[in-house]
Amino acid sequence: MPIPGVGGRVRANRDFLPVRVTRMLLRHFVEYEPSPAEQQTWATQAGRSSASTGGSAATYQLEWFRLDDRRARLERGDVLIFTDDNEWIYPPAVVDSDAIAIPHTHRAFGHLLLVRADLQPVSVADAEQQLADFGHPNPRLTTDHRIISASLRAALLRLWNL
């Protein structure tokens, strides 16, 4: 039985999330300001992006995400959820580009993330309570990890009614 928004349900129109959310990762947020060379690369890649809005009511933004570990590969369509100092959990962001090499580094690269501007962060305490109500008493919101459980992915998306 497919889980809405996660399993085999096919959406008729293009939406913010991929048709199937098969890879979701939880990451701790670190403030980062790209260098001028990175901003130029970002601007070039942003011009090639296939992002579009889902209608007049939805607004999307592209944001830059730097990753310094080549082993932590991201793919286009992956869904990332960020936490900030274990106080806030931010709405999902979708990887909207392939890996972009960052000049003058040996191992760092970046991705463009598609983010819904109309969604607000939720406190980690509230999110843990809601996830416990959905049947997930230990969602591990304080550690970076890949979210394997399809039902936990669906419950996390439900925090923002996605």
**H or E element: which one contains 60?**
strand 60-67
What pLDDT does 37 receive?
83
111's tokens: 């991705």
119 vs 17: CA distance, rounded Å: 13
Q: pTM value?
A: 0.71
Q: Following CA atoms 73, 35, 58, 94 in sequence, which dihedral angle do they give, to the nearest 10 degrees?
A: 0
Residues 6 or more apart whose CB falls under 8 angstroms from that of 147 comprise 24, 25, 26, 81, 153, 156
Handedness of CA 70, 73, 74, 80 (dihedral sign): negative
30 vs 50: CA distance, rounded Å: 26
Q: Residue 42 in 3-state DSSP?
A: helix
pLDDT tens-digit profile, the chain (162 residues): 445 445 444 433 356 777 788 899 999 876 667 778 877 877 777 665 545 544 444 477 878 888 777 677 888 999 999 998 788 999 999 999 888 888 888 788 888 999 888 899 999 999 999 999 999 998 888 888 999 999 999 999 999 998
Q: Following CA atoms 26, 114, 8, 6 in sequence, which dihedral angle do they give, to the nearest 10 degrees?
A: 30
